[in-house]
Amino acid sequence: MNGKVILVTGGSRGIGRAVALECGRRGAHVAVNFASSADSAETVVREIEKSGGRAQSFQADVGDVRQVEALFDRVISHFGTVDILINNAGIMENKPLDQVSEEEFDRVFRVNVKGVFFCCQQAVRRLAAGGRIINIGTSVTRVMLPNYSTYAMSKGSVEQLTRVLAKEVGHRNITVNTVSPGPTDTELFRTGKSEEQVRSLGAMSAFNRIGEPEDIARAVAILCSEDAGWISGQTIFVNGAFTG
């Protein structure tokens, strides 16, 4: 990954942060996107630089198409190119279907689906041959958990986009895959959950624990590598054998 330019959306916290740090350690130049957590993004940049890497933070709301276009402009102006896109930015609503408002539904799809779609569009237009697009999904699309209807629907859309787009860009040796974590120890996952609920979900994995962001980041880094050039159009569940 030496010298590859990687754009990580939602790279200031959680899985995105872990991905940015892992790729930075492996020699990538990292564009750390954030929506509002400027201080957290700068902390990630400093950590990458301390390890000898190169990084820069970039503010943009990926649910806004104009901001997505401007984000790619600024990243390319700074680094000269974009080789790899990690679509990590996402939000969650965790409540029964009959309690989800239209506003909440639209907010989830604005970030989780529209954001991914138009970031992919910019990547298709700007990535060089041999690039990588990796979307972050969820194992909830395969496990029937109550209260996740909106989130699961949005991430199911991402899986289908991955499959179609892989066929569209394969002639340029660009791979497109989805990495789908199970329960992972992030602020997004823990919001609204008791410790008992967290332990219960951890018990659904083969290792009797929830995942760590670094578990997901290492899998993403593998898909960024040249060795993963024959893997495309796949949804890869990185979840410690998490089952319902």
Catalytic residues: 151
* d(C-alpha 10, C-alpha 29), whole Å: 16
Sequence-separated (6 or more) residues with CB below 8 Å from residue 214: 18, 22
CA gap 19, 199 in Å, rounded: 24
Strand, helix or coil for residue 140: helix
Separation of alpha carbons 149 and 28, rounded Å: 36
E strand residue ranges, 9-105 = 29-34, 54-59, 84-87
User: What are the strands, taking DSSP E only, across 60-147?
Assistant: 84-87, 132-136
Closest to 8 in 3D by CA, of 34, 36, 47? 34
Cα–Cα distance measured from residue 7 to residue 82, given in angstroms and rounded to the nearest whole number:
7
